[in-house]
Structure 1
Amino acid sequence: MARLFEEGGRALSAYLRPREGAPRKAAGADEIVDVVRTLGQVAERWMANPSRTLEAQRAFTGGFLELWAGSLKRFSGEDAPPVAVPDPRDARFKDPEWTTSPFFDFVKQAYLHASRWAERMVDEAQELDPHTRHKASFYVRQIANAVAPSNFVPTNPELIRETLASKGENLVRGMRMLAEDIAAGNGDLRIRQTDGSNFVVGKNLATTPGKVVFRNELFELLQYAPTTEMVRTRPVLIVPPWINKFYILDLTPEKSFIKWCVDQGLTIFCISWVNPDARHAQLSFDDYMRDGVLTALKIVQEISGSETVDAVGYCVGGTLLAITLAYLAAKGEAPFASATFLTTQVDFTHAGDLKVFVDEEQVKAVEARMAESGYLEGASMANAFNMLRSNDLIWPYVVNNYLKGKAPFPFDLLYWNSDATRMPAANHSFYLRGCYLNNDLAKGRMTVGGERLDLKAVTVPVYELATREDHIAPARSAFLGAQLFGGPVRFVLAGSGHIAGVVNPPAKMKYQHWVGDEPAGAFEDWFAEAEEKPGSWWPDWRGWLAAADATATPARTPGEGPYPALDDAPGTYVKVRV
């Protein structure tokens, strides 16, 4: 206990130290205000109808009385059917004692009954507008996940056993890690999801050989070294998202999409965005298009000697690519021969739980925070993404790290997930308002570079990849957006989620993918008719590229053309951490 209090003091000191001498707004204060306001609206709707409120209370109390009666039977050695059963995939209650012990079984069922009742209260508040009900449902789910009995030592049988067996040593180790993680977050908790000491970008991550062939204040352009004597004539330019780092496509050699492409005889160029700071505050969406994508395109054309280029955009990088294509179409130019969109949204009607964070009041709050520093801290977006799957990306690590006192395992994907980037104020504000808040691109109202954008004017062939369990760019959303383009579209659905569904090497034979007719109508109808195929979507995409251009040319060595090598891949920008 003495050591636990000592480590607790260090954690408190790590929290207070950055706040000494200057007032500092509590992290998440704006979000807490919005939670209280939103749930207050739900309560108002119920209280306005006393008879409905009474019925809801009766259902809540009746469930507990039924649970109590069943628990009394179990305590006396009799069997009783459960009132609430966890989802079989819910790892929180996998310890056998949650079922075998009458006490912990009661705690588990009481929690499930109460949390599901709260969710029903939101679902049945039909008088709320859809956005408010969506927010309320999300907030209730986050609160329920936070107060789960599995997150506390006295109500988690596994934690009780571990604490007794180690005489509290687990809590001492956990408090020490808590202090370290608060210090790492400069006074705010930065939950470690993996052991980062095992990874170094450029040494065991992002190791595909290549060169930096261009650099400006916005990006570095990487050209990868060929592994075949002949390469496909038309090169490929990858436009990754700027909200995280490009090396998700080049994690380790056996998982690297970029290495696989190079081994398939493709000349690969990839943008590596700068990790912005206050100097980049005024970089706009126009700048990311002109000085980013279009500048990279010009250099790829000059190095390769090819007038046309195939482009690949991932997530928000795909949104930027689509905007660039519409801009070029408005000017009557067609330097891109095709476009591949990986888990990309261009229509944000069904943009999933991220829309919870986007309404006029919340966007204004974000813009006010960005005005102070010129950028949005990387931790803000990382926290938002983690909250979308808090039972996978937050609470298991709280329990493992701070209550069990165990360091997380080294995992390359989670190291990348924690390697956050900042976002320049002007660009991020345009993205939030133009895409999530107003959906201007899909509605034909967006203006970039002085041109009004129309996605129907984009007639190049499109390969659209969605993933079935995507919580960031839902498949339904990607499917709807794919119908806005004016040319032929091959829509493919991959198994798993936003990352694992994309980074799925063929050699592993994991997951599956579905192919079908061009996207039209409802996603559910398309999926019902789609053909399921085993394994990765990568070979399907490579075949699609080959059908458009199967000509070959001698391999191109990075740095030997008009742009000498400035550095080895993965360059310098990707190594800047926040």
Structure 2
Amino acid sequence: MPPPANAPLFMAERLDPAIHAALARSVASLSHASALMAGSDWALHLAASPGKCMDLAHLALRQGQEMAAYAQARMAAGPDREARHAVATPAQDRRFADPAWQQWPFNLMHQSFVLTEQWWAAATHGVWGVDKHHEDMVAFAARQFLDIFSPGNQLATNPVVLNRTLAQGGANLARGALHLLEDARRHAAGAPPAGAENFVVGRDVGITPGKVVLKNRVMELIQYTPTTPAVHPEPILIVPAWIMKYYILDLSPHNSLIKYLVDQGHTVFCISWINPGAEDRDLGMDDYLDQGFHAALNAVNTIVPQAKVHAAGYCLGGTLLAIAAAAMARDGDERLASMTLFAAQTDFTEPGELALFIDNSQISLLEAQMAQTGYLTGAQMAGAFQMLRSYDLLWSRLVNEYLLGERAPMNDLMAWNADTTRMPATMHSQYLRRLFLDDDLSEGRYPVGGKPVTLGDITLPTFMVGTVTDHVAPWRSVFKLQQLSSAETTFVLTSGGHNAGIVSPPGNPRRHFQMLTRPAGGNYLPPDAWLAAAPETPDSWWPAWLAWLKARSGAPVKPPRTGSGAYKPVGDAPGTYVLQK
């Protein structure tokens, strides 16, 4: 006799999560089902598009003709250097910029590879009827697969490596082998990469003096010691992302944003999030909001009473700050003086290439794995970011360190990047589903205190920073807050990426930024129009933010005490949570 239709499915609840968790571990949490759906969508629609197929055949023929003409011109030019460089290559690519790539047969190899990449880019884009997410996944997979066969990534087909090997009698390969063995040993031991030992938190980085004035299950709050005889009355509360350790904003003294603010007469507080373990699996977004931001704000209000607070959030910390600010505006809470967002998204409809790893199938695998471990490891997040920038973060490093035998010296930002954090299972699932997948925040569905919040309620003066080459929070996505809020908004677009664009101390001749302010209630300016209208300024954006804060702050007063009332110092900065491994 069959069970009734409404009988509980005990086997599905008990067996399937374990099977999915095992599958996730075996495939690095990359959903094969999602990949198969994307590949099938593309292949079936391509097969039903004879016009596209004819265009691709014509493109292949034209590329073949270009290659033949290029080879003929190179042979006619002969070995003379000036003549050789007078022959233009059909496709330019920075990976093959070294003059050695102009030598035969390497010139033909790299040109063939680049043209092949271009053909596959054309083949994976613009196929009638293919879902955009599937199109992006197929194009990404094609790029990753082709990179494996790049002539620049192989010993036998890289002229730069071959020339180095001949000149040094193979010493570069010997050094590379030693580098490989050292990296393998450190990886097996769970040790940081070579050179990271020169950047110890509390000794070399994260050394701006201060005290931990609050410690709870989610975070420690650091109040930094003033270095000026007077400070602006409005303190600054910094909310970093929980996918990174806070000291990216307090690296070495010469490039510490926190030290810069303190030295310019500001009272600075910063949250240092816990590095969660399995016992923290149930921590959710509400915990990070209540025990994180609101607990920190209450402490700041007690230590610096009767003063509004300049709040600044970085990456997901900025997203959390925007949620908190919207809820405070809804509830009539006016304790904030301004809001600053560093590379922080509030609308996730165009989150960039990170969306390649976010759909229901991918998230379900992650959830099954996190249900067993209680958290998502930092290595998993780092692997996703590495794939997004495979040439810069993977292939170029492998070639330089293992084939050329050159190990770039470790710097503080690189050491910080290797100091990864974990994310609680509940919080990470909520973040992926509510923000990335469902875009609840920009759609006015995200609940705080049982009621939804809307970013349109925010009227605070807002300073926003986007970075030109950001793969985590693309600047056009960051820019979207101006569509959702009519508050006075100053938007800055700076050179650099998600991290290096923010850690941008004054005095760097390679840095520049554009900045434009939209008044409260002003008309929306689309991104391309903004680019054309915003003036460009050389150097760092930090002084511009400082001037913006000063214009919205009172005259300097005597610095507040470190800790007050229930918030007595419980330890020295950088605290203990940042040291958790």
TM-score, normalised by the number of residues in structure 1? 0.89
Deviates most, 145-154 or 109-118: 145-154
Partner of 2:294: 294
Distance 1:51 1:348, change over 3 A: closer
Distance 1:376 1:234, change over 3 A: same
SS of the residue corresponding to residue 178 of structure 1 reads helix
Say if 2:232 and 2:554, in contact at 8 Å, map to a contact too.
yes
Residue number among 516, 524, 546 corresponding to 2:528 in the alignment: 524
Partner of 1:349: 349
Q: Distance in 2 between matches of 1:247 and 1:32?
A: 37
Deviates most, 253-262 or 500-509: 500-509
Partner of 1:429: 429
Distance 1:31 1:161, change over 3 A: farther
Q: Distance in 2 between matches of 1:428 and 1:24?
A: 16
SS of the residue corresponding to residue 402 of structure 1 reads helix
Aligned pairs for 1:327-406 within 5 A: 327-406=327-406
Partner of 1:547: 551
Aligned pairs for 1:158-557 within 5 A: 158-186=160-188, 192=193, 195-508=195-508, 510-518=510-518, 520-557=524-561
Distance 1:509 1:230, change over 3 A: farther
Q: CA deviation at 1:551?
A: 2.6
Q: What amino acid is aligned across from residue 90 of structure 2 in structure 1?
A: A
Distance 1:103 1:331, change over 3 A: same
Partner of 1:4: none
Q: Distance in 2 between matches of 1:45 and 1:37?
A: 12
Say if 1:494 and 1:513, in contact at 8 Å, map to a contact too.
yes
Q: CA deviation at 1:561?
A: 5.9
Q: CA deviation at 1:335?
A: 1.8
Say if 2:29 and 2:362, in contact at 8 Å, map to a contact too.
no
Partner of 2:104: 102
Q: CA deviation at 1:47?
A: 2.2
Q: Distance in 2 between matches of 1:109 and 1:489?
A: 46
Say if 1:71 and 1:102, in contact at 8 Å, map to a contact too.
no
Q: Distance in 2 between matches of 1:312 and 1:73?
A: 58
Distance 1:244 1:371, change over 3 A: same
Deviates most, 343-352 or 261-270: 343-352
Q: Distance in 2 between matches of 1:560 and 1:517?
A: 37
Aligned pairs for 1:36-51 within 5 A: 37-50=37-50
Partner of 2:562: 558
1:568 aligns with 2:572: yes
Q: CA deviation at 1:196?
A: 1.4
SS of the residue corresponding to residue 516 of structure 1 reads strand
1:133 aligns with 2:139: no
SS of the residue corresponding to residue 53 of structure 2 reads helix
Note the alpha carbon deviations across 1:412-465, whole angstroms, 9 max, x for none.
111111211111111111111111111110010111331211111122221112
Q: Distance in 1 between matches of 2:573 and 2:504?
A: 22
Q: Distance in 2 between matches of 1:177 and 1:157?
A: 21
Distance 1:325 1:357, change over 3 A: same
Distance 1:233 1:510, change over 3 A: farther
Q: CA deviation at 1:55?
A: 4.3
Q: What amino acid is aligned across from residue 413 of structure 2 in structure 1?
A: L
SS of the residue corresponding to residue 338 of structure 2 reads strand
Partner of 1:7: none
Say if 1:84 and 1:112, in contact at 8 Å, map to a contact too.
no
Q: Distance in 1 between matches of 2:42 and 2:363?
A: 22
Q: Distance in 2 between matches of 1:292 and 1:273?
A: 8
Deviates most, 558-567 or 455-464: 558-567
Q: What amino acid is aligned across from residue 511 of structure 1 in structure 2?
A: R
Say if 1:67 and 1:82, in contact at 8 Å, map to a contact too.
no
Q: Distance in 1 between matches of 2:24 and 2:297?
A: 44
Note the alpha carbon deviations across 1:186-228, whole angstroms, 9 max, x for none.
599x995x63132111111111111111111211111101001
Note the alpha carbon deviations across 1:237-292, whole angstroms, 9 max, x for none.
00000001111111111111100100111000000001111011110000000000
SS of the residue corresponding to residue 174 of structure 1 reads helix
Partner of 2:156: 154
1:115 aligns with 2:121: no
Partner of 1:15: none
SS of the residue corresponding to residue 490 of structure 2 reads strand
SS of the residue corresponding to residue 400 of structure 1 reads helix
Aligned pairs for 1:55-66 within 5 A: 55-64=55-64, 66=66
Residue number among 80, 85, 96 corresponding to 2:91 in the alignment: 85
Distance 1:494 1:59, change over 3 A: closer
Q: CA deviation at 1:349?
A: 1.8
Note the alpha carbon deviations across 1:139-192, whole angstroms, 9 max, x for none.
22333333321111011012223334455444444344334434544599x995
Q: Distance in 2 between matches of 1:166 and 1:507?
A: 38
Matched-pair identity in %: 40
Distance 1:531 1:318, change over 3 A: same
Say if 2:231 and 2:265, in contact at 8 Å, map to a contact too.
yes
Q: Distance in 1 between matches of 2:415 and 2:128?
A: 42
Q: What amino acid is aligned across from residue 577 of structure 2 in structure 1?
A: Y
Q: Distance in 2 between matches of 1:269 and 1:517?
A: 26
**Structure 1: which 5+ residue stretches go unaligned?**
1-21
Say if 1:231 and 1:267, in contact at 8 Å, map to a contact too.
yes
Q: CA deviation at 1:32?
A: 5.9
Say if 1:464 and 1:482, in contact at 8 Å, map to a contact too.
no
SS of the residue corresponding to residue 108 of structure 1 reads helix
Q: Distance in 1 between matches of 2:297 and 2:67?
A: 64
RMSD of aligned Cα (Å): 2.5
**Structure 2: which 5+ residue stretches go unaligned?**
1-21, 79-83
Q: Distance in 1 between matches of 2:485 and 2:556?
A: 29
Say if 1:226 and 1:557, in contact at 8 Å, map to a contact too.
no
TM-score, normalised by the number of residues in structure 2? 0.88
**How many aligned positions are there?**
550
Distance 1:292 1:343, change over 3 A: same
Partner of 2:12: none
SS of the residue corresponding to residue 428 of structure 1 reads helix
Distance 1:84 1:32, change over 3 A: farther
Q: Distance in 2 between matches of 1:345 and 1:59?
A: 38
Q: Distance in 1 between matches of 2:271 and 2:564?
A: 19
SS of the residue corresponding to residue 338 of structure 1 reads strand
Q: What amino acid is aligned across from residue 548 of structure 2 in structure 1?
A: W
